[in-house]
Amino acid sequence: MTSPLKVPFYRHQLGNIEQKAISESLTREILSSGYIGEQVESELRDYFKVNSACLVNSWTNGALATLITWGIGPGHEVIIPAMTFVACANIVEVLGAKPVFCDVDPFTLLIDLEHLSELVNEKTRVVMPVHLYGQMVDIEAVRMIVGNSIYILEDAAHSFESTFNSLRPGSLSDAAIFSFYATKNISCGEGGAVISNNEIFFDELRQVILHGMSVHAKDRFKGGVFKSWDVERLGVKANLPDILASLIPSQLRTISTKLDRREAIAQFYSEALYKFSDIIKLPKNHGKGTHARHLFPIWVNPSHRDKVVSILIQSGIGCTINFRSVPTLSFYSKKYPEFNNTCIESQKWGEGVLSLPLFPTLTLLEMEYVVDVIIKQVVPILTEPGV
């Protein structure tokens, strides 16, 4: 049977305006990180009201460079919520430090502050709260727990538009990092940004993202004078080329109207699924700020999850799993068996979660179709006894 409609998981909106911007970037002398990126960084500083912003070629490389700048390595522990994308743990592991997994609150799915306070010890160097699905963690509360000698790195990959008590990411932490990956609320295919109010950290970070070099390419010939460069520290390659940065300014101008659409779609789904709340669970909104509505996850009984995913896919509806609990992934459960039973809520959520399509150009017809398939095909399965 062919499905009457195809609803992709995500549909990007980059079009004529971005085509023009990318063509314009090709007329410039610098194809790598140059003046277009500098302009975007200044717009990001204004948007987030922070002292410093630096474009990077992914969240992952930006976060890796941040941890390198802070000197994270063997003997150090980095606390991350178990319910997150695996990149959070991978960057810690790559540096030879130890990821320590913290459970999440069963209602909001955000880092569990009580468990966090039990995990902090003299080896802890960084805690990495994740603003999961677009809902912000209370960073002030995290700071109260960890004090000033432990770095707070906000994983803001889902939370470009989010606020908590009117504050945006980057206000109270040591660094907040965004992702501009293909499906994120702002995207340039692959990319990201690091923001911070700590300018000393930032001067070092700018070197670390470019091999540790002291003078970046675009500054080497400033004012017609050649500036020599040195390498004062170890670095990686994490800068964003201007070709990709050129895709961002137009999206900054439309971000708030797109968020209104995301919110309306989330409300539509929530209202349509409300009467099934005993079998289809949704994360709870803590109500203390703006939700960026990056994803719309639902939770079903784990014994039916894979069946539900295949019904949606067969009906032409794109869906994904965000996320499996990181300590249950083979690599981590083998390497760190001590976390096999310490993040129960995260594990439970990860075994039953799946994300529905949510993007600004999703039409009413498409939303109604998704809900129709859930009511007619998914709900009957969920009311059968488990296997």
Ligand X SMILES: *Cc1c(COP(=O)(O)O)cnc(C)c1O
Residue 87 within binding range of ligand X, rule CB under 6 A: yes
Handedness of CA 56, 247, 291, 309 (dihedral sign): negative
One-character DSSP codes across 210-266: BTTBSS-GGGTTGGG-PPP--B-S---B-BPPHHHHTTSHHHHHHHHHHHHHHHHHH
Query: Which of 18, 41, 77, 155 lies at the binding interface for ligand X (CB under 6 A)?
Result: 155
User: In angstroms, what is the minimal distance from the CB of 324 to ligand X?
Assistant: 13
Query: Which of 54, 128, 146, 157 lies at the binding interface for ligand X (CB under 6 A)?
Result: 157
Picking from 31, 87, 292, the residue whose alpha carbon sits closest to that of residue 186 is: 292
Stretch binding ligand X (CB under 6 A), from 11-19, 21-29, 151-159, 272-280: 151-159
Site string for ligand X, 102-141 (x = CB under 6 A): ----------------------------x-----------
Picking from 108, 106, 90, the residue whose alpha carbon sits closest to that of residue 98 is: 90
User: In angstroms, what is the minimal distance from the CB of 255 to ligand X?
Assistant: 17
Residue 181 within binding range of ligand X, rule CB under 6 A: yes
Site string for ligand X, 183-222 (x = CB under 6 A): ---------x------------------------------
Of 33 and 60, CB closest to ligand X: 60
Q: How many residues bind ligand X (CB under 6 A)?
A: 14
Residue in the structure block whose two tokens are 């160097």: 125
Query: Would you say 185 and 294 are in contact if contact means Cβ atoms under 8 Å apart?
Result: yes
Secondary element (H or E) of residue 334: helix 330-335
Residue 173 within binding range of ligand X, rule CB under 6 A: no
| Neighbouring residues of 106: CB distance < 8 A, sequence distance ≥ 6 | 345, 348, 349
Residue 85 within binding range of ligand X, rule CB under 6 A: yes
Residue 48 within binding range of ligand X, rule CB under 6 A: no
Q: How far apart are CA 91 and CA 338, in angstroms?
A: 20
Query: Would you say 180 and 157 are in contact if contact means Cβ atoms under 8 Å apart?
Result: no
User: In angstroms, what is the minimal distance from the CB of 180 to ligand X?
Assistant: 7
User: In angstroms, what is the minimal distance from the CB of 336 to ligand X?
Assistant: 19
Q: Phi-psi category of 37—alpha, beta or left, where left has phi over 0 and alpha has psi -120 to 50?
A: alpha
Chain contacts with ligand X (rule: CB under 6 A): 58-60, 84-85, 87-88, 130, 155, 157-158, 179, 181, 192
